Amino acid sequence: MALEMARGRAVRTATRSFRKNQDDAALRDVRAPIAKLRVPGPKAELRFPVSQSLRAFYRRFWPGTGPAEWNDWRWQMRARIRTLEELARVFRLSEDEYAAVAKHQGPLPVGITPYYAGLMGLTDASEPLRRTHIMTGGEYLKAPGEDDDPLSEDHDTVVPGLVHRYPDRVLFLTTGTCSTYCRYCTRSRLVGNPGGEYQFSTRQWGEAIAYLEAHTEVRDVLLSGGDPLTLSDDKLDWLLSRLRAIPHIEFLRIGTKMPVVTPQRVTRGLIRVLKKHHPLWMSLHFTHPTELTREVAESTARLADAGIPLGSQTVLLKGVNDDPVVMKSLMHGLLKNRVKPYYLYQCDPIRGSAHFRTGVDKGLEIIRALRGHTTGYATPLFVIDAPGGGGKIQLAPDPVVGREGDDLLLRNFEGKIYRYPDPNGTLGR
């Protein structure tokens, strides 16, 4: 699996500069040697591995920080990069980035954990992970068909924070907080909001639980947000216990990006909580092979060893992962970390996301490049979450060529035509 990449040369503290370092890409390709692990004290959590490049990164930008703080997910949350000044201290911002961040107001603020910032290009504004988390001017342009709530989740909200769209399952929005804020977020209207219409509280949890107790057709609950793993262990345990006590709730799922962007969150304490509530599934949000670090290998191993099935959900993003080679590398890396590639999402038409969206044909091209050329376990379902509340719709390359007599003609992954006897069939007529 990929190790973290060595970073570009240093940026001056609090200096605004727009000059591009042409050595940045070359330096990031240098593989950092594996750092030796320190033996934790008797009362300390089992430490995550820390590469030399990330160790040098936090010593430079967070001087005085040691492994104990770096490996503490609460420290990662407190130390998140949240302001223009903090961004300019760590990154060499382009003019576009600087102006876009300075202009921002309202929800979906800047939010990047120090760990995740250490995986990004410090001087290259086109680096994939950086593009997904630092604002650009494209975010302020509204393209046709875009909307603040393109999936009409508000329309299907039955009590505050509970979306009941499908007959037997619900989306339970537990919090408006994430450890990092993706610029293409479907819920950009509500996450990170300092106030206003969308609030999340245990009182709302109680209303949602009462609704679920009364609706026996619901058997599957997906906890999302925001990110449920930003909750403390005791709050998460309380909520899972209340849901598990409802007799007709068969499955609990957690949608989270924390094991990817803040892998230190997967502590022994969290594992103890999660193991109490089986069957419990987890959907992880992966974007790019750069995220497949030793730390992420540790977080996913802890979850998998705890008996939690892991699936990935990846959003197809222009200039970030819209390349069959990049996508295949990501999918193979996920399998090696015991994560099943589940969904490849067409980017939702959220307001200001046109610069991230590819054509739908690009997603089909990637699926064609995976099918037959790698194991089916590494091939996700390509879906569009239909605007207007239509739900997920699967798309796949059409293998049906037509018919000849009683034979159905099918095209395989090599483009060759094969016959299947289907005398009573109607497909392909």
Active site residues: 165-166, 169, 178, 182, 185, 187, 348, 385, 392
Strand-by-strand arrangement of the 417-421 sheet: 400-404, 407-411, 417-421
Q: Which residues contact 33 (CB under 8 A, 6 or more apart)?
A: 51, 52
Residue of 173, 179, 175 whose CA lies nearest to 263 = 179
Helix (H/G/I), strand (E/B), else coil: 408: strand
Helix (H/G/I), strand (E/B), else coil: 301: helix
Amino acid sitting at position 295: E
Tokens of 163: 């979306």
Q: Are 400 and 409 in contact (CB under 8 A)?
A: yes
- What span, in angstroms and rounded, lies between the C-alpha atoms of 66 and 7? 19
DSSP summary character for residue 36: P
Residue of 418, 40, 5, 45 whose CA lies nearest to 265 = 45
Tokens of 156: 């299907």
